[in-house]
Structures are given as C-alpha cells and as structure tokens.
Amino acid sequence: MRRMIVLELALMICAISAVMPPSAIADSTTKRCGKTGRCYVIAKKEPRPSTPARRTGDLSPGSRADRQNAADESRVKDANKKFSAALAVYDRRLASYNRCLQTFDPSLNKTGCGSAPTPPDVPRLSSATFSGRGNQPTPTAGQAAAIAVARLQLPSIPPGIGPSPDIAGHQPVEHGGGWLPTMALGRRHYQRWPDFRLSRRPIRIAGS
C-alpha cells in the first residue's frame, strides 16, 4: 500500500514537471531561429567589469606602478618606525647623560659620566630602490631636528669650569654636506655644554 502511494507521488511529480513550461532563461548556446528557417547561436553579451585591472589582477603598467609605490611607502613607514624607536632610546640615554653632567660633583663621583650615547643611524633608503616620483623618503621638519640632535657630537671630555677648551670662539662650523634643514628655516638651537653655559651655536652635520 505504501509502495503504491510512493509510486503515485513520483508519477505526479513527473507529470507536473512535464506540463510545466520550459524556462525562457537563455544561455550562451541558445538557439534563435528566424523566418528563413536558419537558426543562429549568438554569444551572450556580458557586462564589462567597472575596474578590470584591479579585479582581474591585470598586470598593466599603471597597476604595477601602484603596487611598487605601495611597497615603497611600506618600506619608508617601517624605516621610520625603527628609527623612531632607536631615537627614543637615544633620547633617554642622552637625558640621563645630561643629568649626570649637570649634577656632576668630582668630589663625590670620580668615575665621571662615561661616554656620550651614540646616536642611532639615520635610515638610508637608496633612491634607486624607489620607483615613481615623490616616493623617496623625506624627513619631516620634526624628524630632521631629531636627527640633528641625534648627530650632535657631545664632547667626551669631563666637565670642568669655564669654556670648553675644544671649542674656540663658538664659531659656526660648516662641515661637508652643509647645514641641516632647521638652519634653512632660520632657527637656532641652544646647546648646553659641559661648562654649564648656554651656548648659541649652529648645529653641524657630523660625518656627512
């Protein structure tokens, strides 16, 4: 009895599907026949993607340049991060060293303040590795100032009284590559020398 019901249901489904009109959805192999009796297969038009280069990964020169620019920017960002971290460490050491110099008392501390901390290396990203215009890493004014402070050559001589014997007349010294951008902006940096006098002296680029 149950088998008969199943058979009836199956037959009913078959019959209904047989009398249903076929779908009019046409695909690329749809046959279209005209009044001459000839039939045609016309390729279905597909809408063009709005941005084919980006979606299909087309290696057009423009997209390649974009990717290169993005890679360059990423490298600059990474270098800036590393340099900022190293500079922060150097700043802390320098502050500690300066404090030591200010509070130095030879009668209490005969060992001195040790040598000045070494400034971190400025990241050097060769312009040859950067493609596209304007992608070369250019330090901001703040970064340039930080670099200048970092490259400041502090005298390793122990503090004493009176002007430093190494510094003759507090004359500005041009050295190799010239003045830092902060000088171009007309700003002056004040520097505390080990003799505790505030000296108004331009900053020079060390080793450049």
Partner 1 sequence: MALRGRGFVSVGAVVACCALASACSLDQSPASTPSPTPVAITPAESQIERQMRLDYEAAEEAYRANMAEQDRQSQLGIAVKTEELTSSASDNYLVFVLQVLRDIRDSGWRARGTTTIRGVARGGWKEGQVRLSACEDNSAVTFVDKDGKDVTPKNGVRTYVQDLTVNRVRGGWKVSDVESRPVKNHEGVPCGA
Among 15, 65, 88, 89, binds partner 1 (CB under 8 A): 15
Question: Using alpha carbons only, how large is the chain's radius of gyration in Å?
Answer: 38
Q: Which residue has the tokens 């990717």?
A: 67
DSSP code for 10: H
32 binds partner 1 (CB under 8 A): yes
CB atoms within 10 A of CB 119: 22
Determine the interface stretch with partner 1 among 42-50, 96-104, 123-131, 192-200 (rule: CB under 8 A). 42-50
Neighbour-count burial of 71, counting CB atoms closer than 10 A to its CB (0-12 exposed, 13-18 middle, 19+ buried):
middle
Rounded to a whole number of angstroms, the minimum distance from the CB of residue 131 to partner 1 is: 44
- Pick the closer one to partner 1 by CB: 10 or 141: 10
Number of residues that bind partner 1 (CB under 8 A): 29
Rounded to a whole number of angstroms, the minimum distance from the CB of residue 24 to partner 1 is: 4
- Pick the closer one to partner 1 by CB: 27 or 105: 27
For 198, the 3-state DSSP assignment is strand
Among 2, 45, 48, 110, binds partner 1 (CB under 8 A): 45
Q: From CA 43, how far away is CA 34, in angstroms rounded?
A: 16
- Pick the closer one to partner 1 by CB: 22 or 134: 22
Q: From CA 91, how far away is CA 96, in angstroms rounded?
A: 8
For 68, the 3-state DSSP assignment is helix
Q: From CA 159, how far away is CA 194, in angstroms rounded?
A: 5
198 binds partner 1 (CB under 8 A): no
Site for partner 1 in 74-103 (CB under 8 A): none
35 binds partner 1 (CB under 8 A): yes
Q: Which residues bind partner 1 (CB under 8 A)?
A: 1, 4, 7-8, 11-12, 15-16, 18-19, 21-24, 26, 30-40, 42, 44-45
